[in-house]
A and B are shown apart, each in its own frame.
Chain A
Amino acid sequence: MQKKMRIVVVGGSSAIAEHCLRVWLADGPAEMILIGRDRSRLQRVADDLQVRSPQSSVQLVTADFLDPSGIDRTITDAFGAGRVDVVLIAHGSLPDQSECQASLELCRDAIGVNATSPVLFAEACAREMEKRNYGALALIGSVAGDRGRKSNYVYGAAKGLVTRYAEGLQHRLAKTDVKVILIKPGPTETPMTAALSQQKVKLARVEDVAAQIVKGIKAGKSVIYAPPKWWLIMLILRHLPSGIFNRLEI
């Protein structure tokens, strides 16, 4: 019998992560560790996954997402329990830009959850994975991190930090068997974007985005744009001269 895949998800209640897990489980049972801040929200996801795949196992871990020593312990334990094939760092939160401009606390929190926290988790995982010279470490950034713009630059800056961080980690681990993957979703229909969907922003289906992410991880890509068209859109946006860019209402 094939060995069960072992997957660690940080931000286990994220809709994108949950759909990625469903895609993985469709291939066969897995052993999953879901890390989150709220047990009941993790439990809802775990119950659903367990119905979908009764042969799988799900372990739930709650943690403080900004506490370095707690994160260190959580990750050490997760790796201590056995081989880890994939880590997916998925948590994040989309703040309202104008509210960020009005409150420095909110700014700090947005950067904390979208930049500092994923970096701390990734750094702890990188250490464990490098030690074992094995595994795939995937971080969810965002197309918003490719170029700052007025409608969401605090969030975008945090995601941009994750981009630079992932590049550096890829450089550091290039000669090892550890694969570092940066995922950049475009606007996707999840609880995070509920407010956007009311404003009639066109959102991708989370099922499709998840399928593209899992496929990209399997194929060993370094950067995954999901849906893929965002690669081209962001290429163009990144290269627009600021004289033009700054006049766009985006």
Chain B
Amino acid sequence: MSCVSSWGGLSADHHQVVNLMDPSKLESSICRRPLKGLAFGMGRSYGDSCLNSSGILWVTKGLNRFVAFDEKTGRLVSEAGVLLRDIQRLFVPRGWMLPVTPGTQMVTVGGAIANDVHGKNHHASGSFGDHVLSVTLLRTDGETIVCGPSENADWFSATVGGLGLTGVILRAEVQLRRVAGPWLDNETIPFSGLPDFFHLADDSEAGWEHTVSWIDCARRAGVRGLFTRSKPSERTQPFSSRPSVLTMPVTPPISLVNELSLKPFNLAYYHLNKLKAGRSVDHFERLFYPLDNLLNWNRMYGPKGFYQYQCVIPRAAGFDAIQAILAEIAKSGDGSFLTVLKTFGNRQPVGMLSFPAPGVTLALDFPNRGIRTQKLFDRLDAIVSEAKGRLYAAKDARMPKELFHSGYPRLPEFLKFRDQGISSDLSRRLIGN
């Protein structure tokens, strides 16, 4: 038994860790085991969706081989433990790229499918599952199911965004897209007030593939932030050096994100970046995965760990709800350095439990300060629930069952596809087994 934590570091419970490596031993490692298991990729989920305390964790990072690539069509078959980073680094120089990636590329293909992750280009390209052509799933009863948008489509829809609960994904076929090179034309625009944000977002939808904004969550006097939009650049110059990687070497005894640091950091971040506002050409790794060069940054929240709260609110209620949420947070004095606000496009996701939905999404981190943090979340939940929004399970460690059930109306349909040999801390908390 080893102690395993997810990205938020809220727990470190015992798990029986099984490293999946040898394809000929997959069946004996996964099927018909006395304990229930769960697939584990890079543990980049913040909460408990990738944990299964006292049970088995099937760690997939050894399933990291490419299987086939068609240079003409851009279809890539790989094992489930391949990192999105490895795909990007191999294929971008060859003129192909993943159409959708989350804010870190240190995640596995299996994890990206199981959470149907989204990037900054949801309005243009949807979520990860929209580009998956086929998934090979091993069920714990020994059955192998191959599914895709047009083959066993119900299984596919359950497995994309299915939180690992429908079986273990062994391999997947993903459609890459053509790119000229690694560069993006980028523009950063300071804004103040939510109306300004929505304007910028709507204006940018047609012409800019990627949009996101950072906001200062510590400010009580109205919302202000930086809106960033980018699109593939025609620049083709090969790129020479990667920025150096820094590591957060230890876990400090208390969270470095606290009342003392929050306001000055947000203020400084706003002003420093405002100075750099305007147009630039940037490398995709720097723009998309800014935190990947600061290894173990999650440690800065101290030994008690941290939560991320990410909601999506339908557009009609979006303005008022986001306003109300931000006001609650500013009042609480808690919050994070990186608060992200983004609109999602008007499209339905593939997965029954996929998170993205038409509307606006807000994400921010909170150091774990016990009861006080929980009470703040209760107030935020009330706003989200009232606005008919939902929370992102990949980030969650605490949402109430009712909010999960109301936010994910396709849950009853999903349950038919569950694998009885699989369970997670999250499924026990929110589904009951």
Contact = CB atoms under 8 A, between A and B. Distances in A.
Interface of A: 40-41, 44-45, 47-48, 51-52, 54, 191, 194, 197-198
How many of chain B's residues touch chain A, expressed as a range? 10 to 19
A51 B66 contact: yes
Nearest to A38: B24
B66 A47 contact: yes
B68 A52 contact: no
Nearest to B25: A191
Contacts of A44: 23, 65
Contacts of A51: 66-69, 76, 90
Contact of A52 (B23, B24, B90): B90
Contacts of B65: 44-45, 47-48
B21 A47 contact: no
Closest 6 CB pairs of A and B: A51-B66, A48-B65, A51-B69, A48-B66, A191-B21, A47-B67
A103 B21 CA distance: 27
A40 B22 contact: no
Contact of B21 (A40, A45, A52, A194): A194
Interface in B44-72: 62, 65-69, 71
A40 B19 contact: no
B2 interface: yes
A40 B23 CA distance: 9
A40, A44, A54 interface centre (most CB from chain B within 10 Å): A44
Given A51-B68, A194-B21, 7 more contacts: A41-B22, A41-B24, A44-B65, A47-B67, A52-B90, A54-B69, A198-B17
Nearest to B86: A52
Contacts of B66: 47-48, 51-52
Given A51-B68, A52-B66, A198 B21 contact: no
Interface in B321-364: none
A48 B66 CA distance: 4
A41 B25 CA distance: 12
B81 to A, nearest CB: 12
A94 to B, nearest CB: 15
Contacts of A194: 19, 21
A198 B24 contact: no
A54 B68 CA distance: 10
B391 to A, nearest CB: 35
Contacts of A197: 19
27 contacts: A40-B24, A41-B22, A41-B24, A44-B23, A44-B65, A47-B65, A47-B66, A47-B67, A47-B68, A48-B65, A48-B66, A48-B67, A51-B66, A51-B68, A51-B69, A51-B76, A51-B90, A52-B66, A52-B90, A54-B71, A191-B22, A191-B62, A194-B19, A194-B21, A197-B19, A198-B2, A198-B17
Interface in B1-26: 2, 17, 19, 21-24
Nearest to A191: B21
B339 to A, nearest CB: 35
A44, A51, A54, A198 interface centre (most CB from chain B within 10 Å): A51
Contacts of B68: 47, 51
B366 to A, nearest CB: 32
A91 to B, nearest CB: 15
Contacts of A198: 2, 17
Interface string B164-207: 00000000000000000000000000000000000000000000
A40 B22 CA distance: 11
A76 B50 CA distance: 51
A238 to B, nearest CB: 33
A18 to B, nearest CB: 9
A52 B23 CA distance: 20
Interface in B121-137: none
Nearest to B2: A198
A16 to B, nearest CB: 14
Contacts of A191: 21-22, 62
A34 to B, nearest CB: 14
B17, B19, B23, B65 interface centre (most CB from chain A within 10 Å): B65
A237 B172 CA distance: 48
A92 B65 CA distance: 21
A41 B22 CA distance: 9
Nearest to B65: A48
A60 to B, nearest CB: 15
A47 B171 CA distance: 14
B96 to A, nearest CB: 12
A62 to B, nearest CB: 15
B62 to A, nearest CB: 7
A48 B23 CA distance: 14
A198 B90 CA distance: 31
A45 B22 CA distance: 12
B69 to A, nearest CB: 5
